[in-house]
Structure 1
Amino acid sequence: MTWSTSFPQLDDSYLRDLKKVIDEAFRNFTRSYGDMIEGFFSPLQTLLIWSERLLTGTPWPIILLVVAGLAWGASRSWRIVVGSILTLVLIGLFGMWEDTMKTVSMVLAATVLSIIIGLPLGIFMARSDRFRAVLNPVLDVMQTMPSFVYLIPVVMLLGIGKVPGLIAVVIYALPPMIRLTNLGIRQVDPEVLEAADAFGSSAWQKLVKAELPLALPTIMAGINQTIMMALAMVVIASMIGVQGLGQPVLRAINNQYFTLGVFNGFAIVGIAILFDRISQAWGKRLQKHREASHG
């Protein structure tokens, strides 16, 4: 008996017809409801325009002072402060300041949206095992789906521009926020919750005064991962018109401009390290504060 090396598959004509039906149904949906969906997401356009104008319109010395203040407040380390300032100064000297501010504005907007969406979902996930069982496969798909695939439906629904880019970035960056919020709340010491119950705390008081403060270091780790994933996706989203450091990289790939790609690539790495160090330092600071309060 001989075995065929090719896997049996559906008839080609059937597959073609099936794909055609699905594609046509999605196109009809976008024609019918595209304008309504675009209107629904118009507040995101306002948020993006505001954040971009804020960062690109603020004088660079003020940006440096704000970043230095955040770095010092988080780490109390002059090394991190000097490294953060030096990174931004080099980016400015090499003519990438405006693109960097556009990238940072997109990352900040995506991170804020991910926190707004992910924090309640993570809390609800920690409250309900059934909801966690339903949401976990969805999060698995969101984390393992190739990032380019996210661009297809949002472009078909909303066209090319900042808003579809932001939606794609949020979808890609959201899972760590949800998962680590759930993990942090589930790891809260049961004895603390029992003490809160003994004092007659309501569910809301218990959440705000016990669970969230104790879970904050883990939630901060989720925010850190969300920022990193948002920054990675912003570069890919440049393919659909998101402005920033990703567009020069894409232009360098298309035209084989080696130095343009390398310089902007290093700028992205520098911003990623800056975000990572500051957010990690905040997480460690919150962890120390938690341990001190328990001690």
Structure 2
Amino acid sequence: MTSAPTTEPGLTTSPPQTPGEAPGRVAPRPRRVVPLWGWLVAVVVIWWVASRIGDGRAVLYLPGQETTDFQDRFTDLKADLIAGRDTNVLMQVVGAVSDAFNGVVEQLQGLVSTPDLPRPVPQIGWLGVLGIAGWVSLAIAGWRHALGTMASLAAVGLLGYWVDGMDTLIITFFSVAVSLALGLPLAVWMGTSRRVNAVVTPVLDVLQTFPAFVYLAPMALFFSLGPAIAVAVTVLYALPPVVRISAHALRSVSETTIEATTSLGQTGWQRLIKVQLPMARPSIIVGVNQTMMAALSISVIAGFVNGPGLGKPVLRALTAGSNQVGVAFIAGASIVFIAIMLDRVTTAASERSELVARGGGGNRRTHRIVLAVAGAAALVSVYVSRTYFSFAEFPDTEVGPKVAEAVQSATDWTTSHFSGLTTGVQETVTTVFINPLQDLVAGSPWFVTGLALIVLSQLLAGWRGALSSLACLTGIYVTDLWYDAMVTLTSVLVATLFVMVVAVVLGVWMARRRLVDRLLRPLLDAAQVMPSFVYLIPVLALFGPGRFTAIVAAFIYAVPVATKLVADGVRQVSETTVEAATAAGSTPWQLITKVQLPMARGNLVLAANQGLLFVLAMVVIGGLVGGGALGYDSVLGFSRGEFFGKGVSAGIAIVLLGIMVDRVARGAAERDRSAPGLLARLRTRTPAHHLS
């Protein structure tokens, strides 16, 4: 038995020695590890030096009016498909589907929006539409949302876009119906089979990475312009949300519940119908909501391919220039009214289904009586709208023209009085941020930029991220649009930088102040449901056409989703951790920078990921207002048939850019899920009860 060492007064003990270490030798200092930001800075510095040496050589620039053999293959393929439409089996099948889509849309238009000849008006006039829409909203969401639905549709009519608004709803609802018919069975299959889920999930990831604009080019190979291609593109774009969310909801049903139903002798079909689907119903309705909003956003973009609806007047106003801002505004406002209406009704339907499933929802007998009375009123409104002309065709009003004139006057006044300020902001951002970054990314030799991006991907996301970047950059090189892709990437990076700065400031403010959250969150929700086209209207009026306009519109479009993600991440930091840091003497600034933001790092990376994808989608649409690069190539491919192949190649390059930034951001999030070291240090400085 040994006794503990003692220390004589005035003597000090030597530090403990490691096994095998010679007595009296000082232990070696631990090696310094270079932090991640140090490596990132080093790569950027080397990249900049190499770009100065390269001095604009080997940038692979291709003028807008030139094409390559790779791009011409797509143009020739389109010509061959059109020429062989009568003999090609695939084109015959697609033609039959196209005819069916056109037939359904025309029938629905004759029902509610356009004259159903020989009737000079639709079968159901505006009053009947309001009655039916109000009754449906009452049944699934409640009386407040029924009133909101009727008010929103009436506002669209008062602005002068009743017919276009109804056409937008027709394309949206028909596309959602097709998406649900295809997506829900696939979601059930994914939710009940791990193998199917493993196969389909990567496909959904890729589809959701595509900007909406990109879907137009490949579908134009098979469908002719008009309602059919609008429906086909909308279905393809809107399908992934309902499949992914519904499959996740089915997989999330408790294993204990599944085992209990199995022990009771239920078959797999009975378990699905009586247990899994009812328990997953609220989430499925959320999936329907997301699918509906996606369908609405791209049904507007379908105006490019002659799809009916509100996309046409918005597109006409945007291409007409700044003197049409007022017209574009009221068309955009009509889209916003419809978007908010659909979002609120479907969200309320999800909440109501959950309440009813738990035995709430009020008196059911009273609810049925109210529905019966409202249904009778809706039938009367349908009859009146079929009988009287004034209730069939929405009357002309002066509301829309007056609003457009007021908005145009305000725009003209703003541009004339603040042109110096807007020009100064535009020149400063362009000189300080856009031009230097574009010189680095797009102005460097292509192999220098490619190698730098791959190394940065490895540092941020590991070897998987580097391999993904290598594959995507190789594909971009093959499209012969390297320079344009790098210019687009520059705009994406600049816009995302500003998005994250604003998102962090607003997100932290919202997380730390409940009043600020209550005031800002409804605004962010409303901004998030607006189709991307709407954001181009005010920005174009302020700054005129150009790449800066595309960047600002992308910034406005992406800020809401990034801000909400940051706010939610900061709010999720446990109160005990915040209390511990406060007890340790942290100031509010230290609390934000040393505790809350580091512990919300996963949400910050996710916000950057979503911000990048939103920005990329909007920067491409910015090609309409002089954004240039891949956006210009895409628009050129639609507007002129001889450049169709270049437009398709631009779409491929856009998708590859999206996949690359998505994979790098996701890889960075997966590598950085551990809690920051400050929490461990706090444990040594604060009483145990603060961290229990």
Fold-level match, TM-score > 0.5? Answer: yes
> What is the CA-CA distance between 1:9 and the residue it aligns to?
8.9
Within 5 Å, which residues of 2 pair with 1:141-180?
A: 141-180=206-245
The counterpart of 2:102, out of the listed 42, 45, 59, is: 45
> What is the CA-CA distance between 1:167 and the residue it aligns to?
0.6
Distance 1:25-1:240 versus aligned 2 partners, 3 A rule: closer
* SS of match in other structure, 2:358: helix
Q: Aligned partners of 1:89 and 1:29: how far apart in 2? A: 44
Distance 1:85-1:201 versus aligned 2 partners, 3 A rule: same
Letter in 2 for 1:113: V
- What residue is the counterpart of 2:294 in the other structure? 229
Letter in 1 for 2:342: F
Cα shift readout 1:185-229 (whole Å, capped 9, x = no counterpart)? 011122222222122222111111111111111000000001101
- The reply on whether 1:87 has 2:87 as its aligned counterpart is no
**RMSD, matched Cα:** 2.5
The counterpart of 1:140, out of the listed 192, 200, 205, is: 205
- What residue is the counterpart of 2:178 in the other structure? 113
> What is the CA-CA distance between 1:278 and the residue it aligns to?
0.9
Q: Aligned partners of 2:231 and 2:149: how far apart in 1? A: 26
- What residue is the counterpart of 2:618 in the other structure? none
The counterpart of 2:285, out of the listed 208, 216, 220, is: 220
> What is the CA-CA distance between 1:260 and the residue it aligns to?
1.4
Bigger CA radius of gyration: 2
Distance 1:72-1:39 versus aligned 2 partners, 3 A rule: closer
Cα shift readout 1:104-158 (whole Å, capped 9, x = no counterpart)? 0000000001100110111111122222222122112211112222111211212
Letter in 1 for 2:196: F
- The reply on whether 1:279 has 2:346 as its aligned counterpart is yes
Q: Aligned partners of 2:226 and 2:81: how far apart in 1? A: 20
Distance 1:154-1:291 versus aligned 2 partners, 3 A rule: same
- What residue is the counterpart of 1:24 in the other structure? 76
* SS of match in other structure, 2:221: helix
> What is the CA-CA distance between 1:86 and the residue it aligns to?
1.8
Q: Aligned partners of 2:185 and 2:143: how far apart in 1? A: 33
The counterpart of 1:67, out of the listed 133, 139, 164, is: 133
- Normalised by the length of structure 2, the TM-score is 0.40
Cα shift readout 1:144-184 (whole Å, capped 9, x = no counterpart)? 11222211121121221111111111111111010011011
- Normalised by the length of structure 1, the TM-score is 0.89
- What residue is the counterpart of 1:130 in the other structure? 195
> What is the CA-CA distance between 1:275 and the residue it aligns to?
0.7
Note the residue ranges of structure 1 that are not aligned, 5 or more in a row.
Answer: none
8 Å contact from structure 1 (residues 70, 278) kept in 2: no
Letter in 2 for 1:268: I
Distance 1:22-1:152 versus aligned 2 partners, 3 A rule: closer
- What residue is the counterpart of 1:270 in the other structure? 337
Return the structure number with greater helix share: 1
> What is the CA-CA distance between 1:21 and the residue it aligns to?
4.1
Letter in 1 for 2:175: A
Letter in 2 for 1:55: V
Distance 1:9-1:264 versus aligned 2 partners, 3 A rule: closer
Q: Aligned partners of 1:200 and 1:153: how far apart in 2? A: 49
- The reply on whether 1:290 has 2:354 as its aligned counterpart is no
* SS of match in other structure, 1:158: coil
8 Å contact from structure 1 (residues 161, 241) kept in 2: yes
Greater relative contact order (Cα < 8 A, sep 6+): 1
* SS of match in other structure, 2:349: helix
> What is the CA-CA distance between 1:284 and the residue it aligns to?
0.6
* SS of match in other structure, 2:309: coil
- What residue is the counterpart of 2:34 in the other structure? none
8 Å contact from structure 2 (residues 141, 345) kept in 1: yes
- The reply on whether 1:240 has 2:297 as its aligned counterpart is no
Q: Aligned partners of 1:83 and 1:73: how far apart in 2? A: 14
Distance 1:25-1:250 versus aligned 2 partners, 3 A rule: closer
